[in-house]
A and B are shown apart, each in its own frame.
Chain A
């Protein structure tokens, strides 16, 4: 069973659209994991049925029992996150600022503050239109995007792939280089880097490649909207060669991507011509590289 993770560093390069296309091409042999939990979008293209859902708890959050509070103010003094303030003579904890460190609860002289598990989101297992299964999630706003929900989604997907004897797990990863990306990458057999030929695209590609190198995972790159800037495109291909990253393909800037998305379709369902062929060829290449 092989794990293919698609990441981009920079947002807006087409990562999710491309991952969804691979999911359709892979059909029943692929379990999909939408690990872009902060801004999950795969469900807009895959028609999930939300067959199973579960609350997700992560970290803690402090609560003050106003009935027991003696207003000594010690909690507000020790809080390093400006989460406790005096409002109408009562000490209030701001849930968006509270980091759940527990310090206030520990030093409260009357044991008025308690730490509760923080409901940080929800995750789902769905049947999707490709005939396969997708594990996805929604992180609550202001939640600590620690990578734990990403890990949960991936592990559930792995369990399903193992039980159902599927050949591949396809992961839609998170943007950036932080915790959630690291969590997306752990255990990957192959990484697909999606970029665009712009100064920002190349800049972010370089940063995220460093991370991939650190994990020593084989990688390939798709340059999307490649014809926007031929010079930048060439610069990226040079970089890929230097870094020993397989250049998978170039995709042209094409308004059909958006047209397809607007109809809730992946590009390979909407377009039966060149775009579909390019993506199908990339998927074949990826499968080949990952099984060697």
Chain B
């Protein structure tokens, strides 16, 4: 969506404010478990970053990657490998280094994958993701299938002062919230930019975009690298939060879950996948309290969403807004997500 309806922006602002005020209402809502849920919210925000980064590929550019978790995992492992064993890593070195490694990986994988499209692309991204999984699972320096621990969260000093203590759960929460907001705004900016226009065009009709004089492959690789790097940011934060990385984080099931968040929330809208992460984790929590086999009802939900609510939560929201607005042309009942089309200004 090139232009976001103002009501959605207001809704997101209110949502962010609500989250920011958690210390005020957390205990009222969750009592003794307030801190547990604070951590839960933190991890959901991190997943939201992961999901939003995937939407740049899937929803905006039409590149369906089933290997996105590869970059999530690579950044996490980069932190684990770079961090000294018995002291905190320097945030200002660890984060750029992890992201740089991620970006390089995304560049190499992207250059190969972009030579394909459609079903082929889905398969090769899946295969590369698994290649990463097997490599990390079997290598000795990565701790193999047991994974690796990160004893201390990275230390974030600004001019020698510790303004943010990542060991403090509340500080980490606000840090994650700020990161999520920043990623959201970055992605919105990208979509509005000339670069974003080309991506939207590629999604709609790549052949025509090339006929117009764009080297589409270059744009797709750049999108792939940006998305991979943002996924790496999420992976870095997740590894910092849990203090633990393991190969399963890179596997295709992980990638599949991210894709589920994207579709649950509403593909192509950026804010949709953010909501989708919350919805997915909410369902996860509910189902897991009923059975250890929570993936079964989750799979059923997924099938239901595909058959009944393909535009996800965001799609439903936008449709509601459309109905309220007088005039405007009828939406076609196609799979073209609301995100790939221009929404009229509010």
Partners in one complex: no
